[in-house]
Structure 1
């Protein structure tokens, strides 16, 4: 055994670039986590708001029918269609003879309401529109136009629910939110109300009566109908006109709809109806016009003839002045907090209206990309396996010359002995260079003792002040005696055939680096099993695909081999990024070397044993990968064979390892949203279908790697917990990159539990 010790004396070295930047990291981590949480909260809020607007969140489709009305006064049940509570006493009003109060429910609708407004404007007829608040907030411009034309608006609740089923707080919320929507859309509030699913006053029952009483005390006028066109049934234009016509020249509150379905028959029937009623001598007014006419009659009866009607109240537009320039009597100008809250609501809805559809389109793109990736992986992985496992396949003459194995180690006292023990069984001639990167736990002494006890004379231990893994690897490369160097982690163990299999591709002079097959050794825990699935499916299956496409993005730090000259040619292992393995792999591509995957060269590594350690490792990996991609962004314009990674590999990595995973949580959020608020079984079936596709891919990957299928039983749980954690790690890394933060190297806690695999002598 040869042992060499090198150390620096005198002044302590200057901090490396990474270490200098790392000093800022701790203070920046919490704000980034908070920012990520706020973004997720904002997205969830937008989705819930959009769902609420569409009655998917908090919707209630129950409609009461046939309840008793014993508690409702007969004068109300037999009264007119306008219910007021003057002086706290319930009173009904009827529409005067030969007068029509034309009302419309369920709008606004972007297709039908503008057509209704155009017809009313053409015939100079006012309408009273009972609006759904959620629709008002979605189409505020239509409501603004509606009010400016002199039409009247009323509340039809925010989500079109039967208020007789709702709590007092829900009733208040339905009314207040609709008023805010009106304030934001048209700058007004209203005193008119029509309950969804209501008709004539004789339909008031014991459940709805308390609602009308409570709203009446708050100043609302409840509006019912005398004549229902039943246009929602789409019976035909003639029947709509006939059913909307009152009998014997009576006045009527007439119900039509400008939303809620196909209103094409209503649009055709409305002009015919107006012309018919005018031919019969009818005039048109608003609900406020009816109320004010009754008030005027009351004033005359009491001798108060000098009082003038409220501004803006008339019968037909165009009679007695320009009503379009004045507020209807039922309208109130919104001011103060009501106005600003209303505008904020409309603005929030506008954001949701643009965001959710955009997200939906994005999810379709992500879904197609994910499915396409699965399909591409399966096809190319199978082709790779068949190509590499043919009997006639050969890299060239068998490589038998010795190679150097470099083991960077920092505080690896638990693992280093197992690592050396596994290397002592190597069937290929090797020299071993352990580079102790300033360990404080006696790693170098343990390494020397292990080498002595194993009778290994091919081990050198090189000590250096702590400078980081890239510096340790570069030290090892400089100290190497052979032209091929194998790099492994200090917590990794090799099988006896690993090195021999790993170096065979170097028989091809075009090959500059080889990626081995990293395996999770501590796979018997839940976290270990999850990572085992990820390694087999997410890493090794990917590497087969990238190998066939000749754009391998990463040689794993746990097991990789390089031509020593090629490493020196690209400047060695760089300290510019935290993913020195990805960095040098891309650099090898750009230097014109071929990088391949050798599936038969297996290494067993100790994966993080806790969620905290796992987060730290993957955070460093994902952030380091982004650093490496940014560093080599000019590869996109590289020409010739050396530009293949930029043309093929870089886009694939960006799409499948950054963009798609960043967007993937939205799929889970939408799935959960759909399960809770839309269609549970449909959403569950869609989720199970995606899981089934992933299981097929994973099973095939396990078959290629000859792994036991029993670990796949953990995959559903992995999709529910582990995958979401990995997405959050990537999002955290993206925020770190976008905010200009830096991340320091983080040492993971090791247990040394991974030894030589069972069945391997």
Structure 2
């Protein structure tokens, strides 16, 4: 690995895979949202009576319940005398449809089921059972949409998707359609009529109703039976006499209505010539005239249908006692069944739709549980961090042991650090602890070495010794190893060339070495250039994320990273692990894990403050975090065997690596799911509830941030950007993690990507705040 500037070239396969995954997730959630939140049997559609019945042909409004507008025709058909067509809407339902089918089978009665396509896709076996039992099926749209108010493209989609689902479930195609929210023909208005005409253009025969059982009201079993079974009246001689109208015409059973289709004609026949009796009364069977046929509307889905099932078991015998026989809609009007076998292509398309619905349901269900689990884990993490931070604060109030005053070697690896190296060296020169400064120029192509040489030439008496080592470019690990080899001290402080120390930083940083078990010490890195919104976001992340976690890691004995910006190592520990390795791009994490696995402790000293220059552009930020994340994944994989070991290794593996895997890998992977599900909830669910949950989460984050800022002695003015950070910065971070994981899966070798330096940091005084 070299410190050469590398033009960022992201392999196209990364973005293709990420885009495909995102599209697949969005599609499944969209389908799940439509199925779960836009499908219902008792919505708020039609009728549209304020518009009036203007535009509806009178003969259609007063005609039979079967409306045929195909091929430009306008005619209606009625059930034959003595025939009842039981129709059920809003199914199939996994609970109520099997009970309805059981009642029908017990009485040997067929029926016609008008199916919601989404439910068909969810429960295809029930549709297959209906067709196998000899029942008829029809379309009730895919989502129970009010066709009268939907645009033409939506109607077409509702029809086609429902047909596909039926073809995939039962292998048949049907031209029967019942629009949601429809009732008797005389309830049609001009919007309904326009929708019926459009359905006719799509080849559909619309089935309305003569009687509505109103079982959707759930007024009780007896009320449903009363609505379905009309009272018996004695027929007069006139009612029993044959019609006297001229051939080809017939008086309507309802005053002022147009004649309906002739009983017994096929669906393609012309309007009939026989009269039909009124549907609200039934003549006595003793009169010798068959009772008037009718289409009865019931429901097997869309809510609790227990009353419907109970009423069905009573009304069938009641109607049979009145002389009625039961038939499907097509048989009731005297036509052959219009259902035909679906083509192979239609069946495949339907099976694909059913498969997609099954996958969507599975994904949405388990994602919901995963998000719930993630929320619980995230809440537990916040609680653990806060408790650990408080305990760590109290523990670190006690001294580590006798003061450590022996000289320290400070190693500064530098590659093209001309902009900031002067401030770095000058800040070290102000240190109140005895040190030597070693700048290792790793083959810089700018004036980094020249700047250091100028500082050496002007070195005054009393300042710490300053040495420059020049070497060919070999990468940061080799530069650190070169500096360690040249260092005189047994305590080595390592820092970046874009970082400045406070005068007391090194003194605080080396005090933990009073404990002979300590092999590495992490300092408190802070963002120095925090003027812009990106700088403030990184400032919040450093204080709330990195430093709170380091306190917890310290207490748990599993510190995974001593940051390259401000860290110290015992020479003995560094030598025993073979120096700084170049196996990963996160050399600081790799080195820290190796030191812990060798039996040393790594601790956190919050008073050892260092100011670092953070990226100032999104491009630079992305490249830095991409390298960090990819390198961390490499280090975790390299040291994965520590999970199965005992002692310090086991603490690192089972505590540190497990925590990192949960919150640096899994949680970022779930983060986009959480955001997508939040949008999903806003669109398909209770927006107020989703908003309240998000605000509660933000409030918890804000409280944790305030506490972390207080612990670090920081002003909380930057926290005004916290809400925006949750909807922008957090998404950038999880995209970085996803990108890094995809890079690892694809097998791409990521090279070192250096950040552009601007030299925005000055030499701080003790306790100075960089704002």
Q: Same fold (TM over 0.5)?
A: yes
Please state how far the C-alpha of 1:164 moved relative to its aligned partner: 1.2
SS in 2 for 1:208: helix
Comparing 405-414 and 218-227, the one that deviates more:
218-227
> Residue in 2 aligned with 1:5?
none
Match of 2:184 in 1: 200
| Structural mapping, 1:34-113, within 5 Å | 34-56=16-38, 61-66=44-49, 67-85=51-69, 88-113=72-97
Q: Is the 8 A contact 2:120 2:165 kept in 1?
A: yes
- Is contact 2:540-2:719 (8 Å) kept? yes
Q: 1:628 aligns with which of 609, 632, 635?
A: 635
1-structure distance, mates of 2:384, 2:189: 63
Relative to structure 1, the CA distance from residue 371 to residue 38 in structure 2 (aligned partners, 3 Å threshold; closer, same or farther) is same
1:139 deviates by: 1.6
Change (3 A) 1:547 1:674: same
> Which stretches of structure 1, 4 residues or longer, exceed 4 Å deviation after superposition?
25-28, 55-62, 758-761
1:372 maps to which residue? 380
Among residues 282, 295, 298, which one is paired with 1:253 in the alignment? 295
Tell me what 1:400 maps to.
405
Asked if 1:345 is matched to 2:369, the reply is: no
Sort the Cα spacing of 1:214 and 1:57 in 2 relative to 1 into closer, same or farther, 3 A. closer
What is the aligned partner in structure 1 of residue 446 from structure 2? 441
Q: CA deviation at 1:168?
A: 1.6
Q: Describe how 1:163-562 pairs up with structure 2 within 5 A.
A: 163-246=147-230, 247-248=281-282, 249-291=291-333, 293=334, 313=336, 329-389=337-397, 393-455=398-460, 456=463, 458-562=465-569
* Matched-pair contact (CA < 8 Å) for 1:57–1:677: no
C-alpha distance in structure 2 between counterparts of 1:238 and 1:57, whole Å: 29
Structure 2 unaligned residues grouped into runs of 5+: 231-280, 283-290
How far residue 55 of structure 1 moved from its aligned partner, in angstroms, is 4.2
| Counterpart in the other structure of 2:273 | none
**Contact 1:241-1:269 within 8 A present in 2 as well:** yes
TM-score normalised to the size of structure 1? 0.90
Deviations 1:49-72, CA, capped at 9 Å, x for gaps? 111223449998443442311321
Secondary structure at the residue paired with 1:37? helix
Cα drift, residue 333 of structure 1: 2.2
Alpha-carbon RMSD? 2.1
> Which residue of structure 1 aligns with residue 693 of structure 2?
686
Which has the larger displacement, 56-65 or 342-351? 56-65
1:567-578 map, 5 Å: 567-578=574-585
Give the equivalent residue in structure 1 for 2:682: 675
Q: Is the 8 A contact 1:108 1:135 kept in 2?
A: yes
* Structure-1 residue corresponding to 2:286: none
Deviation at 1:125, TM superposition (A): 1.7
For 2:93, what is the secondary structure of its paired residue? coil
Give the match's secondary structure for 1:396.
coil
Q: 1:468 to 1:367 in 2, by over 3 A?
A: same
Structure 1's 641 and 722: CA in aligned 2 closer, same or farther, altered over 3 A?
Answer: closer
Does residue 700 (structure 1) correspond to residue 711 (structure 2)? The answer is no
Please state how far the C-alpha of 1:243 moved relative to its aligned partner.
1.6
How much does 1:336 deviate?
4.9
Contact 1:530 1:718 in 2 (8 A): yes
Structure 1: segments with no counterpart, 5+ residues: 1-15, 296-312, 314-328
Q: CA deviation at 1:742?
A: 1.7
Cα deviation 1:630-681 (Å, max 9, x = unaligned) = 1111001111243211121111111111111211121111112222343332
Per-residue CA deviation, residues 224-243 of structure 1 (Å, 9 max, x unaligned), is: 11122211222222222222
Q: Distance in 2 between matches of 1:334 and 1:19?
A: 65
Cα offsets for 1:676-712 (capped at 9, x unmatched): 3433322222111111110000110000001111100
Give distance in 1, aligned partners of 2:583 and 2:70.
Answer: 79
Shift of 1:27: 6.9
Q: Tell me what 1:712 maps to.
A: 719
Cα 1:37–1:87, aligned 2, differ >3 Å: closer, same or farther? Answer: closer
Distance in 2 of aligned mates of 1:89 and 1:740: 65
Deviation larger for 499-508 or 447-456: 447-456
Answer yes or no: is 1:155 the counterpart of 2:163: no
| Residue among 2, 5, 12 paired with 1:30 | 12
1:349 CA drift (Å): 1.3
Task: Assess if the C-alpha contact under 8 Å between 2:65 and 2:185 holds in 1.
Answer: yes
* CA separation of 1:87 and 1:458: change in aligned 2, threshold 3 A: closer
Q: Which residue of 2 aligns with 1:304?
A: none
C-alpha displacement of 1:188: 2.0
Q: What number of residue pairs does the alignment pair up?
A: 706
CA distance in structure 1 between the aligned counterparts of 2:436 and 2:430, rounded to whole angstroms: 12
Closer, same or farther: CA 695–462 of 1 in aligned 2, 3 Å: same
Greater Cα offset, 637-646 or 685-694: 637-646
Show CA shifts across 1:527-573 (max 9, x none): 11110000000100111111111111111110000101101111211
- Equivalent-residue separation in structure 1 for 2:201 and 2:669 (angstroms): 52
